[in-house]
Amino acid sequence: MKTISENACFGGTQGVYSHGSSACGCDMTFGLFLPAEAQDGPVPVLWYLSGLTCTHENAMTKAGAQLWAAEHGIAVVFPDTSPRGEDVADDEAYDLGKGAGFYVNATQEPWATHYQMWDYLADELPSLIGENFAIDMERQGITGHSMGGHGALTLAMNLPGRFLSVSAFAPITHPTSSDWGKKQLSAYLGTDETTWAKHDSTLLMREKGFDGPILIDQGSSDQFLDLLKPEALAEAMTAKRQQGTFRMQPGYDHSYFFVASFMEDHVAFHADALYAG
């Protein structure tokens, strides 16, 4: 693992690190904020998964998570959204290929060689972080924005017991019935739609739900509402009687101004779960 940078930040450290990934077959980069409490022992961790076109850097510099994480003594991980490198397959469209890994393990060429983001986030990166930093891996929460909200919800529901809490900002909630989903899932996983189901938070909610609290924030003026389909997840949560809160925020769009506006709420929400008991 290579240290790219480390900066003092709200009494803690904001670092950026790279490492060779066996899952993705390339070098991967991630950001990690460690609060001051990490100098004295392991701290809880919040994973933040970013959306389409993003790298590890977008949320790290725009979301404002570090201030609130420092107040609660929580680490925050900012992974990348896809594999990177000259030999990594890409597409001219912004919503497929680099920056658009969709948090799945691709089975179709040319994507299968490198696009193993599910294994990277479910197994490889958590192991690396747990081994090298003062992180309490028994206390994990996960959140994300847009495509990252999709990833956060699907990881949380597919890995019972891993995360104590999950939240999302304007998540892609029903990709099997949306153009933000059908295109990517068919490209990465093939045309057999039965393989798509584990990557659809609405279908997962209907089937199993999440064994902890959920917080969803969605802007009412989001320019991508028809692609995100928030009503599908809201209905599924209600039908499942899921412990959770779904908030439609009037006037907010899909930008990081929206994410930053409610980041304090989300970090506090996770802190309540991570420090419960």
Task: Report the relative pairing of strands 26-34 and 75-78 from DSSP bridges.
Answer: antiparallel
* Tokens (6 digits) for 127: 């192991």
List 174, 254, 266, 270, catalytic entry = 254
Peptide bond into 213 cis (omega under 30): no
* Tokens (6 digits) for 262: 């409610």
List 165, 200, 222, 270, catalytic entry = 222
**Residue whose C-alpha is closest to residue 259's, from 59, 52, 14:** 59
Question: Which helix (H) or strand (E) segment is 21 a member of?
Answer: strand 12-21
* Tokens (6 digits) for 44: 């809880």
- 254 as an active site residue: the answer is yes
- How large is the angle between the packed helices 256-274 and 65-72, nearest 10 degrees? 10
Q: How many CB atoms lie within 10 A of CB 109?
A: 8
List 146, 167, 178, 201, catalytic entry = 146
Catalytic residues: 146, 222, 254
